[in-house]
Structure 1
Amino acid sequence: MSKTIPVEVAYALPAQQILLQINVAEGTTAEQAVRASGILEKFPGIDLAQNRIGIFGKLTKPDSVLHENDRVEIYRPLIADPKGVRRQRAAEGKAMKKGGGDLPAE
């Protein structure tokens, strides 16, 4: 009889987060845990060919073997380029003279 280990599978949408705790056999991969959790049936929009996965915030390959208490995270595609958003905010801040540039010298 093979030993089982506890792991979590996490997925988040803008208005909802789900964290499933499951027990899997030692040697189970990240992808196998996602499939075993039943999350793909609850969220049919998840496509493991498109969505990347990670363990505790670090990208990992689907065939990575899990360890006890690992959290497998399913990531959604970005809807905006973070660098582009920062550049836009910085440009708007300069145009509006935000950031303390107008404070008198002491």
Structure 2
Amino acid sequence: MLITLAAAATGAAAEAPPAWISWLPIVGMIAIFWFLIIRPQMRQQKAHQAKVAGLKRGDEVLTAGGVVGKVMKVEDVYAELEIAKGVRVRVLKSTIGDVIQPGPGAPAAND
């Protein structure tokens, strides 16, 4: 009877899953975070950097603070925007949120 219990205990210990299986849920969560959060954010950041790098004089832009203006001058770090006739401000290029495409029925800035 003792031999049977000892054999059963040894058999149960031999059937334990490998240690790497306990890491599988953690690796799965990291993969989910990568594909659902990190990767799309990196794509969005690259698209924003491309927009900022492609700024040119005459573009109408929207800043992160909600100011709409027309680009008058583009430098390495700053852009000069005209937000009203004769009113110009310098903003960091990184704070420019979007380039506004002129569309039908959209009011023209600085008219």
Calculate the TM-score normalised by the size of structure 1.
0.27
Calculate the TM-score normalised by the size of structure 2.
0.26
Q: Point out the structure with the larger helix share.
A: 2
Bigger relative contact order, structure 1 or 2 (CA pairs below 8 A, ≥6 apart): 1
Q: Which has the larger radius of gyration?
A: 2
